[in-house]
Amino acid sequence: MGTTSLLTRVQRLLRVRNQLLRECLAELLATFVLIAITLGSSAQKITFYETKGTILTSYLGGALAVMAGIHTAGGVSGAHMNPAFSLAMCLLEQFPWWKFPIYMAVQTLASFIASGAVYALYYDAIWYYGNGTLSVSGPRETASIFATYPADHISLTNGFVDQVIGTGVLIVGVLGLMDPRNKPVPKGLEPAVVALLVLGIECSMGANCGCPLNPARDLGPRLFTYAAGWGPEVFRWVEGRGRGGDGG
């Protein structure tokens, strides 16, 4: 009885009553789950020389991470997890504009924190694979575990078009799935169908730039790599980088 009573008091003490704070915490957790799984899939593939993962497992990890994130916070914050989606909801007048910068900041912060978690998880593997260095280019680069980089032959213009089309297809697809006037997705299966949409986009549009589809998914980890020791080179296109990160 004593333990139960104590737990009840602790739960009451920790209960968050402010609705905006609840939404921010939910969005933080959902985005953390999304990015941790997505980057973890990439780290496992790269640092173990593709013996523990392939491009397909990275794509699957990113898609399933979306599903996990939606289940984590969909009922509280809507589980946007993506500033582009939040912006689309604002433009459609389904989300208040004043919340947009708050959600964007929370999503970016969660991506930064998730990057730190993945770095801690794969710390030894990252340093072993990189021969004791944190490199952004070359055969042992590890920056693409965290952020996405274009293939060497991709121009800035083509990279921009790639991201506009990929993100646009994602937003249109999700909005179509949410529209009650369309053929409805069986109740409860919405997160799984969104995950399949993400997987389809990754399999068809991931080669040019790594298919981030999400400004926070790219900016948060990129800021982390800059702070963690990869340096300012993470913000520049570098010839010979060799591959883009795997999206999600």
- CATH annotation of 18-235: 1.20.1080.10
For residues 25 and 16, the answer to whether their CB atoms sit within 8 Å is yes
How high is the pLDDT of residue 14?
66
How high is the pLDDT of residue 242?
46
How high is the pLDDT of residue 238?
55
pLDDT tens profile 8-35: 777 677 677 789 999 999 999 999 999 9
pLDDT tens profile 30-73: 999 999 999 999 999 999 999 999 999 999 999 999 999 999 99
What is the per-residue DSSP string for 155-224? Answer: -HHHHHHHHHHHHHHHHHHHHHHH-TTSPPPPTT-HHHHHHHHHHHHHHHH-TTT-----HHHHHHHHHH
How high is the pLDDT of residue 70?
96
| Residue 212 pLDDT grade (very low, low, confident, very high; cuts 50, 70, 90) | confident
How high is the pLDDT of residue 6?
74
Average pLDDT score over residue span 213-228:
95
How high is the pLDDT of residue 178?
86
Mean pLDDT of the residues in the chain: 90
Query: Is the predicted pLDDT of residue 205 greater than 70, yes or no?
Result: yes
How high is the pLDDT of residue 159?
87
Query: Is the predicted pLDDT of residue 234 greater than 70, yes or no?
Result: yes
pLDDT tens profile 117-148: 999 999 999 999 999 999 998 889 999 999 98
| Residue 244 pLDDT grade (very low, low, confident, very high; cuts 50, 70, 90) | very low
Reported as half-sphere exposure (CB side, CA atoms, 13 A), residue 116 has a value of 10
Domain ranges of the chain: 18-235
